[in-house]
Amino acid sequence: QVRLVESGGGSVQAGGSLRLSCEVSEYTYTNGCMGWFRQAPGKEREGVAAIESNGTPTYVDSVKGRFTISRDNAENTLALEMNSLKPEDTAMYYCAADSVRCGSWPLSPLRVFGYWGQGTQVSVSS
């Protein structure tokens, strides 16, 4: 059973930084897509960043230049470095993994990921 566990969330002031981590266990898909999603209260879940097994990233426009996604295939870990945080980044952040490659639109609401973590809260105050 694939299991994902996030860590690293917390509360910061605007302009601050946080690093989210995700440990993925029992994951054997060498070419599978991994990603970070977030959901703020009262809003739809939003794809933040995704990454292919070869390291190719995709970002939603609102985080480009501020967030960096990375993965360690040997350790089966996923990370999201978040800099210059804004109050609008406040949300529950979830890591996700899939058995297939990211493809062209990995952050589309129609893209289904097979495995999800429980989430970690990120709160940014102004």
Which pLDDT does position 47 carry in this prediction? 97
Please write the tens of the pLDDT for every residue from 48-60: 999 999 999 999 9
Residue 66 burial (10 A CB sphere; 0-12, 13-18, 19+): middle
Q: Which residues of the chain have pLDDT under 70?
A: none
Which pLDDT does position 46 carry in this prediction? 96
In DSSP terms, 18 is beta-bridged to 82
Taking alpha carbons only, the member of 109, 121, 95, 123 closest to residue 32 is 95
Which pLDDT does position 51 carry in this prediction? 97
Which pLDDT does position 109 carry in this prediction? 84
Which pLDDT does position 111 carry in this prediction? 87
Taking alpha carbons only, the member of 17, 24, 6, 22 closest to residue 119 is 6
Please state whether beta strands 77-82 and 67-72 pair in parallel, antiparallel, or not at all (unpaired). antiparallel
